[in-house]
Structure 1
Amino acid sequence: MTTSTAGSKPDLLSAEAGRRRTFAVISHPDAGKSTLTEALVLHAKAITEAGAIHGKAGRRSTVSDWMEMEKARGISITSTALQFPYTTQAGNSCVINLLDTPGHADFSEDTYRVLTAVDSAVMLIDAAKGLEPQTLKLFQVCRHRRIPIITVINKWDRPGRHALELMDEIAERIGLKPTPLTWPVGIAGDFKGVLDRRTGMFIRYTRTAGGATAAPEEHIAPDAAHEAAGIDWDTAVEESELLSADDADFDPETFRDCSSTPVLFTSAALNFGVNQLLDVLAELAPPPNGALDVDGNRRDATAPFSAFVFKVQAGMDSAHRDRIAYARVCSGTFERGDVLTHASTGKPFVTKYAQSVFGQQRSTLDTAWPGDVIGLANAAALRPGDTLYADVAVQYPPIPSFSPEHFAVARGTDPSKHKQFRKGIEQLDQEGVVQVLRSDRRGDQAPVLAAVGPMQFEVASHRMAAEFSAPIALEPLPYTVARLCDPEGAETLQKLASVEVFTRTDGALLAVFSTKWRLENVARENPTVSLRSLVAAGD
């Protein structure tokens, strides 16, 4: 078995790990997440022109939203990995691993998986809407996983709420102390630039045509800022002083301790404030620090190689029916061709087809370091939650499945496509697009698809038709609640009305109920039956 090179190059390994910044962008739908992702890549010079300005005829789609449904709907449906180098304005270089996530609540499972693979998160807030329900749910996941959060107030070029009001809302609703690093010069809808609260400088922005290219910045000394921005500058200074009086200056220790959040103001659509965010990520976001195994012990980033599979995706290239397993490097050095061990099976896994992923684009990857995301092609044996390692065994915690709330029987509409139907359903199940449930009562030709939200069914139907040429018809089932049960309890539950028991692909028995009141009645009338809760979306 190939040996990891981690032990032979500890200094290089530590240095490369220290350069990595691996983070996710989280938000409520339509807060501008994919637009911000595109702007970050643009300012890092990884692309030359942004394509996220909706309503502009002939514009490209974003690099992170590549699925046909994403292009048509203008929303993110699946998470995407983007890696690119960045040099700060101070001349420090780093490697950005950016994981764009779906904002829609129906795809909470995908976002949750991504949050197992990052060291920090950028929480994007719409300047007009403030904290929205999905943002709050995702924040709770970050809090549970102790992920430091950088907050970005977006769309400051449009009418919105007062900046101080938004700071109060963050403090009151999520319990984080907001510590703004930049402060807007000009009210929402009249964005002239920002006051850099660490240097006192006025950073003035200039619009570009359609926001397609990086916005020029002009750094103006404090004593000349009034002449440049007038009363808007004076107001920004006064409000910044109020923040300092309220102990709202940035504190690295409370940020790392997840009790405060640095705040920046941007207009991602105009590329205003994006450079400042990149610099803050490079300077303040934590580098990889290993990962906790199933026993709660930390495997240090300089230990022999290990990685955690957080996502499996097929259909990225219509010319090839391969699939990519996304694995976050937790420790050690990866070199293409290494023979690793698949922890759950103990079998060897060959990494000949390792790739670097940039949205839908892929290129051969020879070496990767802690914090990097590896794309492993044709990885049929890998599932989300799997662990790979070299030399010293390790097992990372599995990713829990969310509690489904929507159920539908799937049937192939073309009997001649039987094999394609089975293969497609199996593929969607393995990727975690939907959960697949089966029972003797319904038979193998009528699997039940279970989802957190109904949009997952749309994705499943679209992919079955487009990728497997096996269109399906979905028959909704009248269930809304699921619980885990044991074989003894399943026998009792199967005899009851408005209750059905299915076997999930991983072997778990799921009892589904028409309503939560039906569940309560069944539990009360059958106290010996064990009914255990699953992880709820957003927990």
Structure 2
Amino acid sequence: MTQTLADKVKARRTFAIISHPDAGKTTITEQLLLFGGAIRQAGTVKGKKSGRFAKSDWMDIEKQRGISVTSSVMQVDYDGKQINILDTPGHEDFSEDTYRTLMAVDSAVMVIDSGKGIEPQTKKLFKVCSMRGIPIFTFINKMDRDGREPMDLIAELEEVLGIEAYPMNWPMGMGKNLLGLYDIYNNRVELTHPEENEDNDFLPLNEDGEIEGDYQVTQSTIYTQAVEDVQLLKEAGNDFSEEAIAAGKLTPVFFGSALTGFGVQTFLDAFVDFAPSPSEHVTVAEEIVEPTDENFTGFIFKIQANMNPAHRDRIAFVRVCSGEFKPGMDVFVHRTGKKIKLAHTTQFMADSREQVQTAVAGDIIGLYDTGNFQIGDTIYEGKKGLQFEALPQFTPELFMKVTPKNVMKQKSFHKGVQQLVQEGAIQLYKTYHTEDYILGAVGQLQFEVFQYRLLHEYNAEVEMTPMGSKIARWIDSDDLDPNMSSSRNLLCRDRFGNPVFLFENQFAMRWFEDKYPEVKLTALL
């Protein structure tokens, strides 16, 4: 049977996985791909000695350090649904990439370490999701290890994040004593290991919420305690509400272990049922673009250089908002007004890719970019002028002067800097008089990754000279005097040519504002 556009959109689930570093975010991504049949073996970020690396961690530096420093995009079919997974950097230095990625999804999965609870980066990313009002699903990970009491974790979730929680399942023990999960929503118990002479991991519950029959697990005090906990939750906890989940007011909570895969399929089954399909997008002119609108629209939320280092390629990641993509179609780029044919496109499994034949709202496609696109660009079919809201950009806090060590590598150096800066994880400034290159970032790790990639992807070894913390402020003035620059406020231009002052400290900025009241200083986010 031929699917309509509405049918295709309804089957899409596009979500990001957010967490603090080391909570198991990339590992659960691997398990979701495994259950979706996209991979045969999950490689965890801890398994370096075996030579197995996370499928979603595709850069060499990610494999070496065991961290994610760039957002990965993966697609998998599961239970009749097309799932688009965006695995984001957990490290706080790469939060800008993560924030932009969260603009491209319809829901989020929040991974929490059962031993640590809510951590700072999780709190920050939750706030962004909450501001957007998107549904948030919680997976409390590492139940195969000893951790904090589940009741404490649920209480912290509600108190610290200010969202109501509904446990969909409940752990029967933890660590070596983890017997299984009491599945509240499906009214069954999922065992870590089948009972003797049984080949089924699932045991149904009776009307009283207990396992019927002579099973060894029922003799355990751990099982008895779990039954009591669940009864307490049913009496004193929150009610289940699909409407509250959809509004981002209630988070369904799942317990499990991403490392062993225990509880992951139960989570995935529930997620595809309750996560939303793509919804409308609003333009700058406050027009509503429905996902089933006939004209193709989308926006670029990420640019990645050298996904294939042998070809020095650049890929622009597009979130499709409406219509249906077809190879060879013509679209407008709002920022430039140019009409471009989308002939070379791709879909992803981290660094693996295949040619796109069709894509609808919710899908993520990659466009081979020769310099036509920037992060935040709106692309569209139909009448000219359509533009979605701008994506967030952050004011950097740390700055480095960067120069090539070998003057013979100037060409490689300039090309590498320009291409990597366009990815948006680091910002470039040129001094007004000397045109020295200055890099701005949120955290130190961004500089280290930038330096590593210049060397290994562009063969350009560089000298990085710390400039310390600065306060960057953009200037809204038609009458700019270069003599305003001094030793305490360095006048630069950003990569778009906009004038920027880098102030030494708050005192220097206040002094400047007092001396030049006609100049308006503006910060980014």
Q: TM-score, normalised by structure 2?
A: 0.93
- State the match for 1:37 in structure 2: 29
Q: CA offset at residue 526 of structure 1?
A: 4.9
- Choose which of 365, 372, 383 in structure 2 pairs with 1:374: 365
Aligned equivalents of 2:166, 2:507: Cα separation in 1: 45
Aligned equivalents of 2:422, 2:73: Cα separation in 1: 19
2:212 corresponds to 1:228: no
Aligned equivalents of 1:292, 1:148: Cα separation in 2: 18
- Give the secondary structure class of the aligned counterpart of 1:438: strand
- Choose which of 98, 112, 126 in structure 2 pairs with 1:111: 98
**Cα gap change, 1:170/1:525 in structure 2, threshold over 3 Å: closer, same or farther?**
farther
Residue type matched to 2:222 in 1? D
- State the match for 2:39 in structure 1: 47
- State the match for 2:433 in structure 1: 441
Aligned equivalents of 1:126, 1:148: Cα separation in 2: 20
- State the match for 2:344 in structure 1: 353
- State the match for 1:3 in structure 2: none
- Give the secondary structure class of the aligned counterpart of 2:301: strand
> Is the 8 Å Cα contact of residues 127 and 188 (structure 1) preserved in structure 2?
no
**Cα gap change, 1:53/1:375 in structure 2, threshold over 3 Å: closer, same or farther?**
closer
Matches within 5 A, 1:463-474: 463-474=453-464
> Is the 8 Å Cα contact of residues 171 and 178 (structure 1) preserved in structure 2?
yes
- Choose which of 228, 234, 238 in structure 2 pairs with 1:244: 234
- Choose which of 109, 112, 129 in structure 2 pairs with 1:122: 109
- State the match for 2:411 in structure 1: 419
Aligned equivalents of 1:127, 1:379: Cα separation in 2: 45
- Choose which of 253, 257, 261 in structure 2 pairs with 1:263: 253
Aligned equivalents of 1:225, 1:110: Cα separation in 2: 53
Q: CA offset at residue 44 of structure 1?
A: 1.3
Cα offsets for 1:446-485 (capped at 9, x unmatched): 2111111111111111111111122211111133322222
- State the match for 2:380 in structure 1: 389
- Give the secondary structure class of the aligned counterpart of 2:291: coil
Corresponding pairs, count: 513
Aligned equivalents of 2:255, 2:351: Cα separation in 1: 29
**Cα gap change, 1:262/1:341 in structure 2, threshold over 3 Å: closer, same or farther?**
same
2:304 corresponds to 1:313: yes
Aligned equivalents of 1:350, 1:360: Cα separation in 2: 24
Q: CA offset at residue 492 of structure 1?
A: 8.1
Q: CA offset at residue 294 of structure 1?
A: 1.6
2:265 corresponds to 1:281: no
- After TM superposition, the runs of 4+ consecutive aligned structure 1 residues lying more than 3 A away are 215-221, 224-227, 487-497, 516-529
- Give the secondary structure class of the aligned counterpart of 2:308: coil
> Is the 8 Å Cα contact of residues 10 and 302 (structure 1) preserved in structure 2?
no
- Give the secondary structure class of the aligned counterpart of 1:131: coil
Q: CA offset at residue 55 of structure 1?
A: 4.5
Aligned equivalents of 2:478, 2:332: Cα separation in 1: 36
Aligned equivalents of 1:480, 1:139: Cα separation in 2: 28
Q: CA offset at residue 425 of structure 1?
A: 1.2
2:64 corresponds to 1:72: yes
- State the match for 1:4 in structure 2: none
**Cα gap change, 1:322/1:495 in structure 2, threshold over 3 Å: closer, same or farther?**
closer
What is the RMSD computed on CA atoms of the aligned residues? 2.2
**Cα gap change, 1:518/1:244 in structure 2, threshold over 3 Å: closer, same or farther?**
farther
- Give the secondary structure class of the aligned counterpart of 1:403: coil
Q: CA offset at residue 399 of structure 1?
A: 1.5
**Cα gap change, 1:448/1:470 in structure 2, threshold over 3 Å: closer, same or farther?**
same
Matches within 5 A, 1:120-269: 120-187=107-174, 190-206=177-193, 217-221=201-205, 222-224=211-213, 227-229=216-218, 230-269=220-259
Aligned equivalents of 1:55, 1:368: Cα separation in 2: 34
Aligned equivalents of 1:442, 1:133: Cα separation in 2: 40
- Choose which of 486, 496, 511 in structure 2 pairs with 1:506: 496
Cα offsets for 1:87-138 (capped at 9, x unmatched): 1xxxxx1011000000001001110111010000001111011111111110
More deviation in 218-227 or 324-333?
218-227
- Give the secondary structure class of the aligned counterpart of 1:153: strand
- State the match for 1:452 in structure 2: 442
- Give the secondary structure class of the aligned counterpart of 1:328: strand
**Cα gap change, 1:203/1:336 in structure 2, threshold over 3 Å: closer, same or farther?**
same
- Give the secondary structure class of the aligned counterpart of 1:46: coil
> Is the 8 Å Cα contact of residues 328 and 373 (structure 1) preserved in structure 2?
yes
Q: CA offset at residue 353 of structure 1?
A: 0.9
**Cα gap change, 1:198/1:55 in structure 2, threshold over 3 Å: closer, same or farther?**
closer
Aligned equivalents of 1:225, 1:490: Cα separation in 2: 84
- State the match for 2:208 in structure 1: none
2:330 corresponds to 1:339: yes
2:385 corresponds to 1:399: no
> Is the 8 Å Cα contact of residues 26 and 45 (structure 2) preserved in structure 1?
no
- Give the secondary structure class of the aligned counterpart of 1:478: strand
**Cα gap change, 1:189/1:143 in structure 2, threshold over 3 Å: closer, same or farther?**
farther
- Choose which of 280, 289, 292 in structure 2 pairs with 1:290: 280
> Is the 8 Å Cα contact of residues 85 and 94 (structure 1) preserved in structure 2?
yes
- Give the secondary structure class of the aligned counterpart of 1:270: coil
- State the match for 1:486 in structure 2: 476
Residue type matched to 1:318 in 2? P
Aligned equivalents of 1:67, 1:349: Cα separation in 2: 30
Aligned equivalents of 1:247, 1:359: Cα separation in 2: 40
**Cα gap change, 1:521/1:267 in structure 2, threshold over 3 Å: closer, same or farther?**
farther
Q: CA offset at residue 255 of structure 1?
A: 1.1
Structure 1 stretches lacking a partner, 5+ long: 1-8, 88-92, 208-214
Q: CA offset at residue 415 of structure 1?
A: 0.9
Cα offsets for 1:244-290 (capped at 9, x unmatched): 22242321111111111110001100111110121122100010013
Cα offsets for 1:387-433 (capped at 9, x unmatched): 11112442111223201001111101111122211111111121113
**Cα gap change, 1:334/1:480 in structure 2, threshold over 3 Å: closer, same or farther?**
same
Q: CA offset at residue 519 of structure 1?
A: 3.2
> Is the 8 Å Cα contact of residues 476 and 522 (structure 2) preserved in structure 1?
no
Larger RCO: Structure 1 or Structure 2 (Cα < 8 Å, ≥ 6 residues apart)?
1
Aligned equivalents of 2:122, 2:65: Cα separation in 1: 20
Aligned equivalents of 1:377, 1:305: Cα separation in 2: 18
Cα offsets for 1:184-230 (capped at 9, x unmatched): 111355322211112320011249xxxxxxx9943444324964252
Aligned equivalents of 1:439, 1:53: Cα separation in 2: 40
Q: TM-score, normalised by structure 1?
A: 0.91
> Is the 8 Å Cα contact of residues 311 and 325 (structure 1) preserved in structure 2?
yes
Residue type matched to 2:421 in 1? D
Aligned equivalents of 1:379, 1:144: Cα separation in 2: 34
